[in-house]
Amino acid sequence: MKESPSLPPSHPLREAIHDEVHARFYEPLDAPARASWLALLSPRDSIGRERELVASLCHRFGSEEPLPEKNFVACDLGTFRMRWERHNEFSTWSFFVTGETVSDPFADPAINRVPADWLAELPGSTIAAIHLALESRDMPERTVEELEAVFAPHAFVGNGVAGGDGLVWTDFRVHEDGFSRFLVRDIDLTRREAGRIAQRLFELETYRLLALLALPLVRELMPELDELESRLNDINDEMAGITEQFAASEREEHLLAVLSDLASDVERLSSYAGSRFHASRAYASLVNKGAEELRTVRMPGLQTLCEYLGWRMDPAMGTCASQAERLEVLSMRVHRTGALLRTRVDVTLERQNRDLLGSMNRRADLQLRLQRTVEGLSVVVISYYLTSLVAYLLRGLDEVVAVQVPVNLAIGVAVPVVVAGVWFSLRSMRTRIERKVRRGADSGG
């Protein structure tokens, strides 16, 4: 994209998002024409192999190879035209042949022009395979018997499209060749309208099948969801029956472990099926949108394509939606039960901690009383030894120097002084220690 000197610089993604609307176009068709469509489920990392196959097919038929980074390619290979498009989880391959009128519209499909060895190398698994025949307005109109022969042995549905400018018939069945069939008759279609209708019919059938991919998964998950709900109900019943406080903590902790296992199973199912359910809803909305864009007109005596799809798809998609909602509700219930159970466990633990702190306070009070008792005994013991030392000192002095005061009287006078001094010293020491402890507790708080 060229930069305009009169404008600020373009955003780095401007060109990419601007050209996105032109990146995937439909193939205009001139009646009569035949088309074959393949939709293959394949992992995202197979896109490199798909690009290689597109390039090899172009090289085989002498056509110019496309740019290697493209996710959409449409090219003319002489005897047929090829169109490849990569989507998120699948790829589509379509082949077109025009200008040939045949009595049996599906006897020689367009895919017969494609080399069989090349088709065998396509990566992925087939989710949709469709033959479409576009008949010219100049051809004689087919009778009901002829239409029945085209779709035999199945019943068919049909309606007008593009406001009546075209007619479409199909049976939504896979025939012996592995392809389903759409027969389109041109009444007053332009080549662009014919191409759009063909593309919408291909996508309608492909998205229908992709939307229904969730249905087998739902049937697989139903028994497991029943079992998970039963386990959750058992946990709730057991929670309601816990009344004995002395056993409540252990039982609640056991239930919490059981609930954790249940939550992991529910999360596993959610991650396993959640993306498929979301994709199914998205594809179903595309089916509804595509059906509206066909601008159908009822044909006398026939059920329309939209009616047929709605009659069969709506119950299936309703089942998928109900089971997806059921899984989400189950996850919410597990979360609420877990919150309630954790609250009960926390309350029990807080009660135990309160009792433990009360016991510790009682032990601390007892220790304080013992300490004061020991402190009184310590005063007596220390005073006794100090008084003995004073007595030895006084007797020694009396032997060396005659003391004017009787020794025993001096010892007796020293006893209360020593006791008072020891008691005051121990009390001062205890007071300093308690003050330091309080300052440390206040700073730590």
Which three-class secondary structure string do you get for 50-67? Answer: HHHHHHHHHHHCCCCCCC
The whole-angstrom separation of Cα 233 and Cα 36 is 53
Lowest mean pLDDT among 35-44, 208-217, 231-240: 231-240
Handedness of CA 175, 97, 296, 164 (dihedral sign): negative
Peptide bond into 12 cis (omega under 30): no
Peptide bond into 32 cis (omega under 30): yes
What's the pLDDT at 267? 86
CB 240: neighbour CB atoms within 10 A? 8
Query: Do 317 and 284 form a contact (C-beta atoms < 8 A)?
Result: yes
Q: How many helices (H) and strands (E) does the chain have?
A: 9, 9
The one-letter amino acid at 146? E
pLDDT tens profile 379-434: 777 777 788 877 777 777 766 666 566 767 777 777 788 778 877 887 787 778 77
The whole-angstrom separation of Cα 164 and Cα 158 is 12
pLDDT tens profile 247-283: 456 777 778 888 888 888 888 888 888 888 888 999 9
- Is the pTM of the predicted complex or chain greater than 0.75? no
What's the pLDDT at 197? 93
Structure-token pair, residue 305? 């394509």
The whole-angstrom separation of Cα 36 and Cα 220 is 33
Structure-token pair, residue 331? 């996850």
Look at residue 199 and tell me whether its pLDDT is greater than 80: yes
The whole-angstrom separation of Cα 138 and Cα 122 is 37
Give the residue from 87, 53, 88, 90 showing the smallest Cα distance to 68.
53
State the DSSP H helix or E strand holding residue 271, giving kind and residue range, or none if neither: helix 245-293
Look at residue 36 and tell me whether its pLDDT is greater than 90: yes
Give the angle subtended at the CA of 232 by the CAs of 229 and 238, to the nearest 5°: 140
Structure-token pair, residue 183? 């027969």
Average pLDDT, rounded, for the chain: 84
pLDDT confidence bin for 174, thresholds 50/70/90: very high
What's the pLDDT at 354? 81
What's the pLDDT at 404? 63
Lowest mean pLDDT among 77-86, 223-232, 389-398: 389-398
Structure-token pair, residue 243? 């009344």
Lowest mean pLDDT among 79-88, 192-201, 286-295, 398-407: 398-407
User: Phi and psi dihedrals of 6, rounded to 5?
Assistant: -90, 0
Structure-token pair, residue 260? 């954790």
- Edge to edge, what strands does the sheet with 166-170 contain? 72-76, 81-86, 90-98, 33-41, 125-135, 180-186, 166-170, 157-161, 297-298
pLDDT confidence bin for 138, thresholds 50/70/90: confident
pLDDT tens profile 3-19: 666 677 777 777 666 65
User: Phi and psi dihedrals of 167, rounded to 5?
Assistant: -125, 145
Residues above pLDDT 70, as percent of the chain: 88
SS3 assignment, position 112: helix
Look at residue 442 and tell me whether its pLDDT is greater than 50: yes
Helical ranges in 61-155 per DSSP H: 116-119, 144-151
Terminal-to-terminal C-alpha distance of the chain = 66
pLDDT tens profile 336-390: 888 887 777 777 777 777 878 878 878 877 777 777 676 667 777 777 778 887 7
C-alpha dist (Å) from residue 433 to 64, 376, 427, 440: 95, 18, 10, 11
Query: Do 94 and 37 form a contact (C-beta atoms < 8 A)?
Result: yes
Look at residue 2 and tell me whether its pLDDT is greater than 70: no
pLDDT tens profile 311-336: 888 888 898 888 888 888 888 988 88
The whole-angstrom separation of Cα 49 and Cα 57 is 12
SS3 assignment, position 86: strand
